[in-house]
Chains A and B, each alone.
Chain A
């Protein structure tokens, strides 16, 4: 997993602060099309200046949720408030919200500058100020030289920036971004991620982004909502979602993970103990609050948190023996696929801090996998 996001120097967590006023609040919002339930009873608060990501597979309802904020869809039941105002019946053109479309939706008959001025001309802004604002937006996205070009004369990355600048030109309270990086190639996407965060911080606008790319969400967002079948599965900061998923669905959706299912034998001192295979030692670790003694539970652990060695660790639990079935070498990392005696496959990832010729573990080797108590999490479902 990519952990390149610079940690914000000051602590920004309005969702933990009971006194913060949310910019957006969904209360019991549902949306149905006939029998199909696109959004299922969503409760969600998003705070000013957040960079909030709606993440999920296609058809999970994330786009519908965003279009409700923009005013292109109405909720079937429940209320949506933006900045304290109920948005029921408020058309898109009357909302303090702008959207950056997945297709960019640049007006092909207008130049870049005219595209940026389009929204301003519909607002109450005096004509004399419009040119200045357009100029400012062009500078923000570094497209000053391209002001007179038509959209079809721009590259994909330039179009993306025009779309962003156009959506920001009216200084909306809330900017919606629908798969903003979806049409860019990989290298450009990574550069643009940081640009987006920069621009968000500079303009102090609240961003809500829809994406199916978990890496994108992890890199940019202050908080992520993972959605599936119209439901919010988990809402949390990227590290919460990654380190403390609340279900195997989330654990599996975000990054690589190994899951071992077993029986909860004991719970004490903030640790649950799972019996899962007679020939192996029990697993002990921190657990999610729904886990109870005597029930089935699932231990989830990331590959990079598992150590691999040829000698048996001294600890009495959290160790597994198996045989190396395959090794994937990716330069800085090596991933070991270890087959357990019960046929289960566990992956362990190690940083290659030595030259490959000195690596001691190879195919068919009998190895021990181990981890410390805090490395994984025990989940109820």
Chain B
């Protein structure tokens, strides 16, 4: 089929976008991860020098190696950081789901007049800077913070409990920040749910609870999956929350990455960490895409 120019251009724009803003930067990072660290600006070698022509390119490629990746696999710090990130992300996703699902369910069952205001309330926190919100949590969770003051005043505790700079604080921060990503996709599926399906289930012998279990939950599954992926994937690489709310014992790959780049100035290792992180994330991203496709197929 002959395609006309405007159409080619229209389809071409997103491709160009991805090429310029995803593929090219990724190739640069990949290249740096295969280089060696040096004390220079930029702090790695080799650098591609085209003045030497074809010879130059050959030498350039011959100097690239997988040294950094081998180093990653030898130093247990990195492995532990990856595993710990996945663990923290999974636990945080679980808590976000436990809080997000009831919220979304309540919203979808609210009267027509209430739904839009409730939806606004879920989105509202996005209107304040993310950093300010996390700093506020530091104020709330610290030893002299709101929670401890309140509990001390009420006499529940005699000395402050340490929340800030622990994994608990990290979980609180993640759940709080990522809640809308969980609530919105679940709400979207629940909102589309035909109320007569629940009546049909009850008519066919289900109690209210079993109708919820057999119909509502089953049909909300794509929304639940989408919400979980939307939280799980970015949280693995999360840097701000663990570094501000977490303590020295909170090990997350985002923090390791930051340390390698800015404290160690070891760009090649940092790049290797980033590339490997991307490889790990590919699995949930592919699963997420599958889930979306399946849902679309159902709605046809």
B186 to chain A, nearest CB (A): 16
Contact of A107 among B197, B205, B207 (CB under 8 A): B197
Q: Are B200 and A101 touching (Cβ within 8 A)?
A: yes
Residues of B within 8 A of A170 (CB): 204-205
Q: A109-B218, A118-B204, A123-B205 are in contact. Are A92 and B300 (CB under 8 A)?
A: no
Residues of A within 8 A of B203 (CB): 70-71, 92-93, 97-99, 119, 167
- Chain A 111-131, CB within 8 Å of chain B: the 1/0 string? 000000011001100000000
Residues of B within 8 A of A109 (CB): 218-219, 298
Residues of B within 8 A of A119 (CB): 203-205
Q: Are A122 and B196 touching (Cβ within 8 A)?
A: no
Q: Are A122 and B215 touching (Cβ within 8 A)?
A: no
A338 to chain B, nearest CB (A): 48
Q: Are A103 and B196 touching (Cβ within 8 A)?
A: yes
- For A91, A92, A102, A167, the residue with the greatest tally of chain B CB atoms inside 10 Å of its CB is A92
Q: Is B281 located at the chain interface by the 8 A CB criterion? A: no
Residues of B within 8 A of A71 (CB): 202-203
Q: Are A166 and B194 touching (Cβ within 8 A)?
A: no
Contact of A105 among B194, B205, B210, B218 (CB under 8 A): B194
- For B194, B197, B203, B219, the residue with the greatest tally of chain A CB atoms inside 10 Å of its CB is B203
Residues of A within 8 A of B218 (CB): 109
Bound: A142/B77 CA distance, A: 65
Residues of A within 8 A of B300 (CB): 152
Q: Is A59 located at the chain interface by the 8 A CB criterion? A: no
Contact of B206 among A93, A99, A105, A167 (CB under 8 A): A93
Q: Is B63 located at the chain interface by the 8 A CB criterion? A: no
Residues of B within 8 A of A12 (CB): none
Q: Are B207 and A105 touching (Cβ within 8 A)?
A: no
- Chain B 167-207, CB within 8 Å of chain A: the 1/0 string? 00000000000000000000000000010110111111111
A295 to chain B, nearest CB (A): 48
Q: Is A294 located at the chain interface by the 8 A CB criterion? A: no
Q: Are A152 and B298 touching (Cβ within 8 A)?
A: yes
Q: Are B199 and A92 touching (Cβ within 8 A)?
A: yes
B215 to chain A, nearest CB (A): 7
Bound: A78/B218 CA distance, A: 39
B207 to chain A, nearest CB (A): 6
Q: Are A122 and B199 touching (Cβ within 8 A)?
A: no
Residues of A within 8 A of B215 (CB): 107
Q: Are B200 and A108 touching (Cβ within 8 A)?
A: no
B212 to chain A, nearest CB (A): 13
- Chain A 320-351, CB within 8 Å of chain B: the 1/0 string? 00000000000000000000000000000000
Q: A122-B210, A152-B300 are in contact. Are A105 and B197 (CB under 8 A)?
A: yes
Q: Which residue of A lies closest to B200 (CB)?
A: A105
**Number of chain B interface residues as a range:** 10 to 19
Q: Are B196 and A91 touching (Cβ within 8 A)?
A: no
Residues of A within 8 A of B194 (CB): 103, 105
Residues of B within 8 A of A167 (CB): 203
Residues of B within 8 A of A122 (CB): 204-206, 210
Residues of A within 8 A of B204 (CB): 93, 98, 118-119, 122, 166, 170
A257 to chain B, nearest CB (A): 36
Which residues 218-263 in A have Cβ within 8 Å of B in the complex?
Answer: none
Q: Are B210 and A99 touching (Cβ within 8 A)?
A: no
Bound: A102/B194 CA distance, A: 12
Residues of B within 8 A of A123 (CB): 205
Q: Which residue of B lies closest to A150 (CB)?
A: B298
B200 to chain A, nearest CB (A): 4
Bound: A71/B199 CA distance, A: 10
Q: Is A363 located at the chain interface by the 8 A CB criterion? A: no
- For B206, B210, B219, the residue with the greatest tally of chain A CB atoms inside 10 Å of its CB is B206
Residues of B within 8 A of A194 (CB): none
Q: A105-B197, A108-B219, A108-B298 are in contact. Are A91 and B202 (CB under 8 A)?
A: yes
Residues of A within 8 A of B200 (CB): 99, 101, 105, 107
Bound: A119/B202 CA distance, A: 9
- Chain A 47-72, CB within 8 Å of chain B: the 1/0 string? 00000000000000000000000111
A217 to chain B, nearest CB (A): 23
Contact of A101 among B199, B205, B210 (CB under 8 A): B199
A110 to chain B, nearest CB (A): 8
Bound: A167/B205 CA distance, A: 11
Bound: A123/B203 CA distance, A: 12
Contact of B207 among A70, A93, A97, A118 (CB under 8 A): A93
B34 to chain A, nearest CB (A): 47
Q: Which residue of A lies closest to B199 (CB)?
A: A72
- For B199, B201, B202, B204, the residue with the greatest tally of chain A CB atoms inside 10 Å of its CB is B204
- For B202, B206, B214, B298, the residue with the greatest tally of chain A CB atoms inside 10 Å of its CB is B202
A111 to chain B, nearest CB (A): 13
Q: A108-B298, A152-B298, A152-B300 are in contact. Are A93 and B196 (CB under 8 A)?
A: no
A35 to chain B, nearest CB (A): 19
- Chain A 83-109, CB within 8 Å of chain B: the 1/0 string? 000000001110001110111010111
Q: Which residue of B lies closest to A152 (CB)?
A: B300
Q: Are B196 and A101 touching (Cβ within 8 A)?
A: yes
Bound: A108/B194 CA distance, A: 10
A184 to chain B, nearest CB (A): 18
Bound: A114/B215 CA distance, A: 13
Q: Are A118 and B219 touching (Cβ within 8 A)?
A: no
Bound: A155/B218 CA distance, A: 24
A12 to chain B, nearest CB (A): 28
Bound: A108/B197 CA distance, A: 9
Q: A108-B219, A122-B210 are in contact. Are A93 and B197 (CB under 8 A)?
A: no
For this complex, 22 residue pairs linking A to B, each with C-beta atoms less than 8 Å apart, are A70-B203, A92-B199, A92-B202, A93-B202, A93-B204, A93-B207, A98-B204, A101-B200, A105-B199, A107-B201, A107-B215, A108-B219, A108-B298, A109-B219, A118-B214, A122-B204, A122-B206, A122-B210, A123-B205, A152-B298, A166-B204, A170-B204
Q: Which residues of A contact B (CB under 8 A)?
A: 70-72, 91-93, 97-99, 101-103, 105, 107-109, 118-119, 122-123, 152, 166-167, 170
* Pairs of residues from A and B, 5 with the lowest C-beta to C-beta distance, nearest first: A122-B205, A119-B204, A105-B200, A105-B196, A92-B202
